[in-house]
Amino acid sequence: MDGALTGNTTPGEVEYGPTVRHDWSRDEIAALFAAPFNDLLYQAQSVHRQYFDPNEVQISTLLSIKTGGCPEDCGYCPQAARYDTGVEAEKLMSVDAVVAEAARAKTAGASRFCMGAAWRNPKDHDLDKVCDMVREVRNLGLETCVTLGMLRDHQAQRLSDAGLDYYNHNLDTAPEFYGDIISTRTYQDRLDTLGHVRDAGINVCCGGIVGMGESRAERVGLLHQLATLPDHPESVPINMLVRVAGTPLASEDDLDPFEFVRTIAVARILMPHSMVRLSAGRETMDDAVQALCFLAGANSIFYGEKLLTTPNPGASHDQKLFDRLGISAMD
Ligand code: SAM
Ligand code: DTB
Ligand code: SF4
């Protein structure tokens, strides 16, 4: 990678930096994963510095606008109706209540507000309300992101017309492990939704979950899928499984935290322009591991006491961590 021409030069100038590639092979990605930890982090941090300020982290706040009662069977998810997790099904929130939460998030320092709904897919009449939420949250001066499940092409277009900045839809894992986790929708369904989002001109937020019992080769498979998409997702959330009692993955073994850091580092190297989000799982993650994730090129987090239904570190804890590391929030 080192020394590759970026192609962003004007005549007479030579600028060196990582080439953005879409043709990564699984073997190449496996070799990155297998590198000595220090070599991998050095490479990831070097790539990171070519595109980003290494001391800035973007902060997003999540809100569950429609909680629980989901018909899908995602094995990790506390919101699936079929698992007894204690999450009560609720109706879609009102636009005013969502806007009030967004205003609070902005005051607390978030630059993006992400709204999640426990749907297999939205109905057209639900989208009327979600589009109003997007317009009003945007008027507060926040970037908007929604995650609503599978989308049809006209639905992606409606969200785009409402001014939506990002759509989150994760591939979750490698295609060959996917069937162990979810049976109610296919990998191809997910790729189709991502295509509709891209075609509608909305930025793509797409990543996955690690620590679900997948092998390293399957973590390689997830990142291979993401890095060989026709365009890399603008935002790549890497979630550590939050084990929730009542879900099939409740008693999954711990993943070695260094393996999580490696996953972040490899994502950074493969997708140098993308924001890589240290996403779910920080509540049980040591501060030192989080610091290693930032060193590995993570430059976005979810901020605020709650993710969708599970806890996240408190804002004051994160503020202290940022101060200890000399990190500031990206505008
Ligand atoms: N229902 C929509 C869907 O599945 O696309 C949107 C909401 S869903 C909760 C969004 C994402 O959250 C999932 O794709 C998954 O990657 C992540 N997620 C859900 N439960 C999780 C858990 N227990 N640990 C880590 N990530 C989780
Ligand atoms: C993403 O990749 N992670 C976020 C967001 N996108 C929507 C969700 C994490 C959910 C963790 C489990 C919960 O709080 O319910
Ligand atoms: Fe439903 Fe989304 Fe949870 Fe799957 S991840 S059960 S689709 S809310």
Q: Measured in angstroms, how far is the CA atom of residue 272 from the centroid of ligand 1?
A: 24
Residue 10: the pLDDT is 36
Q: Where are the alpha helices (DSSP H) in the chain?
A: 26-34, 37-51, 95-107, 124-139, 153-161, 175-178, 187-199, 216-227, 257-270, 287-295, 315-325
pLDDT at 110: 87
Query: Ligand 2, residues 239, 242, 300: which to mutate, most atoms within 8 A of Cβ?
Result: 239
Would you state the pLDDT for residue 18?
64
pLDDT on residue 17: 57
Nearest to 264 by CA among 41, 21, 114, 76: 41
Q: DSSP letter for 149, please.
A: S
CB contact at 8 A, 153 and 199 = yes
Tell me the ligand closest to 212's alpha carbon: 1
Q: Let me know if 145 is a catalytic residue.
A: yes
Please report the pLDDT score of residue 9 as a whole number.
36
The pair of three-digit structure tokens given for residue 231, joined into one six-digit string: 């365009």
Per the annotation, the verdict on 77 as an active-site residue is: yes
Of the candidates 112, 243, 268, 277, the residue annotated as catalytic is: 277
Please spell the DSSP secondary structure of 307-322, one letter per residue.
Answer: SSSSB---HHHHHHHH
Return all residues near 20 (Cβ < 8 A) that are at least 6 apart: 232, 271, 272, 273
Spacing, Cα 79 to ligand 1 middle (Å): 9
Q: What confidence score (pLDDT) does residue 1 get? A: 37
Task: Give the C-alpha separation, 256 to 263, whole Å.
Answer: 11
| CB of residue 220 inside a 6 A radius of ligand 1 | no
The model's pTM: 0.94
Task: Give CA–CA dist 112/331, Å, rounded.
Answer: 10
**Number of the ligand closest to the Cα of 194:** 1
Per-residue pLDDT of the chain (331 residues; tens, 9 = 90+): 333 334 333 333 344 456 799 999 999 999 999 999 999 999 999 999 999 999 999 999 999 999 999 999 999 999 999 999 999 999 999 999 999 999 999 998 888 999 999 999 999 999 999 999 999 999 999 999 999 999 999 999 999 999 999 999 999 999 999 999 999 999 999 999 999 999 999 999 999 999 999 999 999 999 999 999 999 999 999 999 999 999 999 999 999 999 999 999 999 999 999 999 999 999 999 999 999 999 999 999 999 899 999 999 998 899 999 999 999 999 8
